[in-house]
Structure 1
């Protein structure tokens, strides 16, 4: 199954509002198939361009603003302001102790140092590179389908440990490091800068797992329970106001 077929199946089965997105990290940014845009922006904006507008773009830390997002995917070493917890004080925690724990609970590849120098983001359907991970924005009912599909052969759960900080980038880093799918609750920045909607969660899976998940989406649909949209049960008699209820005299 090629990438275009994968994207088409995911969009059709899940009835996604936006495109699945391919993401690849590069140790050498000179190997990326595109040059970064000539202004600074965040990773969530690159993903938004891909999923909404079908645009492929490259990113390097020199052309980024969000240090947390860059740290999560290993484009920079995690800055001290995060490891000490200082950055969380006020917005997310009452003191540095809580802030430090908060930041520890946000998965960051940069905690063990800088690992990459570039990131490519594109719609899965047209990506001209082999992705490390695939990003899908979905509502909770669509997410249910993805969870069931992932669990189909083994019953394995998807971990969604989160403090809702840098969820997109943290989930990308987690999926790369652990080789497992994960679910994130989009952060304030993703909503402000990336246009993420109130109804959306983010699912990130290693690319090598996507074909299996698609097969299992097809298999689980055969049971009739794990489907989207979930059909409501209409086999019951409703109660209506007398003025809207058929009376004996109407028959």
Structure 2
């Protein structure tokens, strides 16, 4: 099974463990260091032969900057975040650009401006959203790739964000802290309704307040 399909299944509530023999995509297995990258890949010749890049120097540049996990892994475990007893290494969210914006706003509130997002439109779930945040210990954004959009059936309006678990609570707190200043009234009402549907008390929310309309709370 391709790693991105494992992630898709985990987001649907399923828990999976996979070793090298279970991977249906060698690109993901290499990114996660479940198998060793071969010279054909690291040299850029494989992807240049596919026609993904205009020439070999460009392909070599891309491969030189693609981040692989720098350890030998036996396998991976993916499952819904709430089902982990031990802390996971990486948290991944696939969502629409609006929610992606809010996650980045929460991150920026806590950690400041990120100048190092890395993306190429390829190896999205495995490298851009797993290996990159794991190896760099920082958030990364992906617009997904053609392979995962086909295999995992993501919608055209979806994107992905991966970040180390050690940033999770700070990002959540940042999203809460910026709620009043960034969300319009209709979004605030939706947030309150979702909290109530989940049987949880919503955080204090101020209506008629955000930074882009100049409105003040009543």
List 4+ stretches of structure 1 deviating above 4 A.
Answer: 225-231
Is 2:121–2:143's contact at 8 Å kept on the other side of the alignment?
A: yes
Corresponding position of 1:214: 172
Closer, same or farther in 2 for the Cα pair 1:169/1:76, shift >3 Å?
Answer: same
Work out the CA distance in 2 between the residues paired with 1:204 and 1:122.
14
TM-score, length-scaled by structure 1: 0.69
How far has the Cα of 1:158 moved from its partner?
6.0
Structure 1, gaps ≥5 residues long: 1-40, 235-251
How far has the Cα of 1:229 moved from its partner?
4.6
Partner SS, residue 197 of structure 1: coil
Relative contact order, higher structure (CA 8 A, sep 6+): 1
2:99 matches 1:139: no
Is 1:221–1:227's contact at 8 Å kept on the other side of the alignment?
A: no
TM-score, length-scaled by structure 2: 0.78
2:18 matches 1:59: yes
Structure holding more helix per residue = 2
CA offset digits 1:94-138 (Å, max 9, x no partner): 3222211122232222xx5x5211100001122344210110001
Work out the CA distance in 2 between the residues paired with 1:222 and 1:146.
15
Superposed, 1:72-151 pairs within 5 Å as 72-89=31-48, 90-109=50-69, 112=70, 114-151=71-108
Question: Which of these residues, 138, 159, 178, is aligned with residue 116 of structure 2?
Answer: 159
CA RMSD between the two structures: 2.4
